[in-house]
């Protein structure tokens, strides 16, 4: 990856990181304290117990997704700083530029990603 491509990628990753952090803050109550959010979460409502549990599960899944996204962005920024950005973390080959432009936090080439997604757990 040439030096003229690095700065725009770093700005994009930093912007994505800022967006994810803002979404995490909003999910955790934004300007409200954790105590206020907890009181609101556990206050008696008209919702059934099942609805309350479902809402909690959705909120937890969203939080986990945002945290994972933040980890991928931070990892990409570290690879950028180390000079290994754009190289597949699995096979070491260059990741196609269109793939990097579409997903700047991607860590694997398409072949290795497909293998990872189809591998048994």
Q: Read off the pLDDT of residues 14-38 as tens digits, 9 standing for 90 and up.
A: 999 999 988 888 777 655 545 555 5
Q: Give me the pLDDT at residue 93, please.
A: 97
Q: Give me the pLDDT at residue 3, please.
A: 74
The encoded tokens of residue 83 equal 């000079």
Which portions of the chain are predicted below pLDDT 70?
A: 1, 29-47, 49-63
Q: Give me the pLDDT at residue 61, please.
A: 57
Name the residue with tokens 């479902």: 54
Any idea what DSSP says for residue 94? B
Q: What is each CA distance from 72 to 49, 63, 77, 78, 85, in whole angstroms?
A: 35, 14, 9, 10, 12
Q: Give me the pLDDT at residue 2, please.
A: 72
pTM (2 d.p.)? 0.70
């Amino acid at each position: 990856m040439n030096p003229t491509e690095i700065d725009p990628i770093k700005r994009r990753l930093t912007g994505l990181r800022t967006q994810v952090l803002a979404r995490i803050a909003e999910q955790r109550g934004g300007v409200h304290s954790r105590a206020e959010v907890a009181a609101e979460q556990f206050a008696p409502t008209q919702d059934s117990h099942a609805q309350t549990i479902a809402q909690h599960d959705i909120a937890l899944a969203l939080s986990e997704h945002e945290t994972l996204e933040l980890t991928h962005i931070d990892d990409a920024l570290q690879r950028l700083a180390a000079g290994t950005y754009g190289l597949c973390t699995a096979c070491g080959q260059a990741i196609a530029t269109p793939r990097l432009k579409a997903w700047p936090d991607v860590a694997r080439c398409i072949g290795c990603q497909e293998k990872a997604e189809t591998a048994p757990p």
